Amino acid sequence: MIVLALYAAIFVASYLLVKSIVHRTTTDYASLKTVTFGDESAVVPDRLASFVSLLTIFLLWAAFTGSSLVPSFLHAPGPFIGTASFDYTAELSDGRRDDATVTVIVSRAGDTPEVPEVDPGDGFAKNDVDVIGAWRSGLVRVDRNDEVPEGVEETVVAVNGEPLAPGGTVQTAYGRVGMSPKGTLNFEPAKGWQMEPIWLPSPEAVAARFVDIARDGYRDSTLWEHLGFSLFRVVVGFLFGALVGIPLGYAMGLSAWFRGWFDPIVEFMRPVPPLALIPLVIIWAGIGETGKIILLFLAALWIMAIAARSGVSGVNIAKVHAAYSLGASKAQIMRHVIVPNSLPEIFTGARVAMGVCWGTVVAAELVAAEKGAGMMIMVASKFQLTDIVIMGIILIGVIGFGIDMLMRWAERILVPWKGKS
Amino acid sequence: MTGLVIENLSMRFDLPNGTSVQALQDVSLELAQGELLSVLGPSGCGKTTLLNIVAGFLAPTEGRITLNGHRVTGPDAERGMVFQQGALFEWMNVRENVSFGPRMRGLREKDYGANVDHLLNVVGLRDFMEKSVYELSGGMQQRVALARCLANDPDVILMDEPLGALDALTREKMQSLVLKLWKETGKTIILITHSVEEALLLGERLLVMAPRPGRIHREYRLPFADMGVSADLRQVKKHSEFAARREEILGMIWDMEEEIMGRTEVAS
């Protein structure tokens, strides 16, 4: 909630700030429009906003993970690290009372701090020392070194002078001291606002992990092998899907019999999410490459068939009539009218199909695979290697975005007449 | 027999709701080589159906069409077609569009190139031949369509409201161009239009069709097309006979439209 409120605050503040500082000096046509609310063409993305948006996400991420990439004054309060101490008051069943001090060394996970010797002090309650990891909590058995005579019960009755009963807690400057129903103390050092690395690692940890895996690989394969295998499956599955789907779509667009025959199949298979086919494909073809390529083939097939079909159906009958009147044969009409006319639709379908295939391959690898981007993050998640998971998600996003950009670029080059009729 | 002969053409088809439509009834017509016929009529009179049958896109239920002695059974390069709009190929540039017919017949650039360039010159698009057709204005696109049709050297040119989507000024220029091309090439032309003025200006012969069933209502022979070849079209329009004919035909179509509207009212 805090993060969300902070995010909204930055959104509003940066808007007001940018608006008051940056005065648009452009005098192009769009800048002269007085009606912009409701005019879609007057709404062009403000690139400054995009920049601030990405910066905000990065800063929030860095601030709440204590990243070394941003100055420390931007950090959200971190967990308590260092030497904490609190006093406790113990009472024996014969009525005697004594105070002692507990020293707790709070260290980051993975560090092995030196445990100092402490002076046991006077009285029957002796001073204690313990080690607890940051973001963790631990039992503090204060009575284990206390000198309690036989037949006498010791109970802790107060911490730092504040009375404490079983089930209760006392806040100290270093964290929370609680008492279990059986009377044992536990200490939870202050956690601060930052995220623990196993939930959300800092940006530099993710980057370091990326460098690490790019160099050494993960699970017997290099990072490029993981990503390359995912991409290879997508490309091969998509190509097979297009190779079968486009001719099928053409046949459905050109022949009533084909249309009638395949319509029920295509219309039924289209709304079935490819992910729902994973179990069946695993049963039939196993978890190897064949199964994955069959799955992606099925994911791309229906999309490409429907795109090709609507590309053929979308041809203006006047164009076909004109071509016949100019003496073109059926084959020439196919080659010079129907195919070029359907290319824009096919490209749109190909973009959708590539997106769906990319999503499907990651999901299929999550289920079962030996190599692949999805397998990488799934295995990492089982070992709580959140940095690999986040790195994998970012890479999957970047590749998906790259595929879409590539398809758009190809579309611009190859079908410049799209949307121009 | 040379020229286009249409004999006792009837066209009747069933609708999904069980009724049937008599789109054309007993239409007969003879058109000599080089004649320009304009066809006029209220919507639903079957003029586009007639044109589609002549083009070979539809088969009549009765009657037959012969061109220069042989029967018309399907579309062919001997009968070129100019559509209202949207019939150009966006994936080809202007010159590729115009040379489409010759290229489909397997001719080489050296065989058709000079003729295509000449036609582009005639329609005033020489400087635009490398442009994509979607970069052109509506009037220019129709000039491409005209040139594309002429490049194929058809015997008959069928025009389905070719100027209907153009603005008034462009339309007037295009009317002059159609007359000029007609005179220069000597093609037989059938032109369908909604505009009485255009039908009078361009039609050497004028056919007024009536709806329900679609049939020939009246036929005229007019002098205005010949006048328009040499004179300004605006001068032709000032002619007293032109005005008289226009009023006569407008009244005729007006009556037909009213009859349809009246019938619709009774029916509902």
Among B107, A226, B91, residue whose Cα is nearest residue B99: B107
Q: The tokens of A114 are what?
A: 């030196």
Q: How does the average pLDDT of chain B come out, rounded?
A: 84
Q: With an 8 Å Cβ cutoff, are B90 and A328 in contact?
A: no
Q: How does the average pLDDT of chain A come out, rounded?
A: 89
Q: With an 8 Å Cβ cutoff, are A322 and B75 in contact?
A: no
- For the segment A3-16, the average pLDDT, to the nearest whole number, is 91
Interface residues of chain B, partner chain A, Cβ below 8 Å? 55-57, 74-77, 79-81, 83-91, 100-101, 104-105, 132, 134, 145, 148-149, 152, 154, 158
Question: Which candidate from A340, A343, A417 shows the least CB-CB separation from B134?
Answer: A417
Considering only residues A181 and B266, tell me which one the structure prediction assigns the higher pLDDT.
A181
- For the segment B213-234, the average pLDDT, to the nearest whole number, is 80
Q: With an 8 Å Cβ cutoff, are B57 and A324 in contact?
A: yes
- For the segment A92-121, the average pLDDT, to the nearest whole number, is 85
Question: What does the pLDDT look like over B22-62, one tens digit per residue?
Answer: 888 888 888 888 888 999 888 778 888 888 898 889 888 88
Look at residue B7 and tell me if it is in a domain. no
Element (DSSP H or E) covering residue B156: strand B156-160
Find the residue in A nearest to B145 (Cα).
A322
Look at residue B261 and tell me if it is in a domain. yes
A chain contacts of residue B144, beta-carbon cutoff 8 Å: none
B chain contacts of residue A335, beta-carbon cutoff 8 Å: none
What is the extent of the structural domain holding B231? 30-47+154-267
Per the document, the length of chain A is 421
User: Cβ(A74)–Cβ(A65) under 8 Å?
Assistant: no
* pTM metric for this prediction: 0.82
A42-54 burial, b at 16+ Cβ within 10 Å, e below that, comes to: eeeeeeeeeebee
Question: What does the pLDDT look like over A231-290, one tens digit per residue?
Answer: 999 999 999 999 999 999 999 999 999 999 999 999 999 899 998 999 999 899 888 889
Element (DSSP H or E) covering residue A415: none
Q: What is the DSSP string of B181-208?
A: HHHHH--EEEEE-S-HHHHHHH-SEEEE
Look at residue B141 and tell me if it is in a domain. no
User: Cβ(A91)–Cβ(A117) under 8 Å?
Assistant: no
Q: Which residues contact A276 (CB under 8 A, 6 or more apart)?
A: none
How many domains are contained in chain B? 1
Closest CA–CA distance from residue B267 to any residue of chain A (Å): 33
Find the residue in B nearest to A319 (Cα).
B87
CB pairs under 8 A between A and B: 77
Q: With an 8 Å Cβ cutoff, are A318 and B57 in contact?
A: no
Closest CA–CA distance from residue B234 to any residue of chain A (Å): 32
Question: What does the pLDDT look like over A354-397, one tens digit per residue?
Answer: 999 999 999 999 888 888 899 999 999 999 899 999 999 999 99
Please report, rounded to a whole number, the percentage of residues in chain A having pLDDT higher than 70. 99
Q: With an 8 Å Cβ cutoff, are A327 and B89 in contact?
A: no
| End-to-end CA, chain A | 50
Look at residue B217 and tell me if it is in a domain. yes
Closest CA–CA distance from residue B111 to any residue of chain A (Å): 17
Q: Tell whether the model's pLDDT for residue B219 goes beyond 50.
A: yes
Residue B100 to residue B90: CA distance in whole angstroms: 12
Q: Tell whether the model's pLDDT for residue A8 goes beyond 50.
A: yes
User: Cβ(A270)–Cβ(A301) under 8 Å?
Assistant: no
Look at residue B85 and tell me if it is in a domain. no
Closest CA–CA distance from residue A39 to any residue of chain B (Å): 25
Question: Which candidate from A319, A327, A416 shows the least CB-CB separation from B89?
Answer: A319
3 state SS of A158: strand
Q: The tokens of A27 are what?
A: 């005098």
The letter for the amino acid at B27 is: V
Look at residue B205 and tell me if it is in a domain. yes
Question: Which candidate from A322, A323, A417 shows the least CB-CB separation from B90?
Answer: A417
Half-sphere exposure at residue A71, Cβ-oriented, CA atoms within 13 angstroms: 1
Question: What does the pLDDT look like over B158-189, one tens digit per residue?
Answer: 998 888 888 888 888 888 888 888 888 888 89
Q: The tokens of A359 are what?
A: 């999503």
Residue B85 to residue B87: CA distance in whole angstroms: 6
B chain contacts of residue A417, beta-carbon cutoff 8 Å: 90-91, 132, 134
Question: What does the pLDDT look like over A212-243, one tens digit per residue?
Answer: 998 888 888 888 999 999 999 999 999 999 99
Question: Which candidate from B56, B86, B132 shows the least CB-CB separation from A417?
Answer: B132
Residue B29 to residues A349, B4, B245, Cα–Cα distance (Å): 49, 8, 22
Give the CATH number, domain containing residue B199. Answer: 3.40.50.300
Residue B84 to residue B60: CA distance in whole angstroms: 23
Question: What does the pLDDT look like over A300-346, one tens digit per residue?
Answer: 999 999 999 999 998 888 899 999 999 889 999 999 999 999 999 99
Residue A132 to residue A143: CA distance in whole angstroms: 18
Q: Tell whether the model's pLDDT for residue B264 goes beyond 60.
A: no
Q: With an 8 Å Cβ cutoff, are A327 and B57 in contact?
A: no
pLDDT classification of B267: cutoffs 50, 70, 90: very low
Look at residue B187 and tell me if it is in a domain. yes
pLDDT classification of B262: cutoffs 50, 70, 90: low
Look at residue B211 and tell me if it is in a domain. yes
Residue A172 to residue A103: CA distance in whole angstroms: 13
What class, spelled out in words, does domain A205-414 have in CATH?
mainly alpha
A chain contacts of residue B149, beta-carbon cutoff 8 Å: 325-326
Element (DSSP H or E) covering residue B81: strand B79-82
pLDDT classification of A24: cutoffs 50, 70, 90: low
User: Cβ(A60)–Cβ(A132) under 8 Å?
Assistant: no
Q: With an 8 Å Cβ cutoff, are A326 and B100 in contact?
A: yes
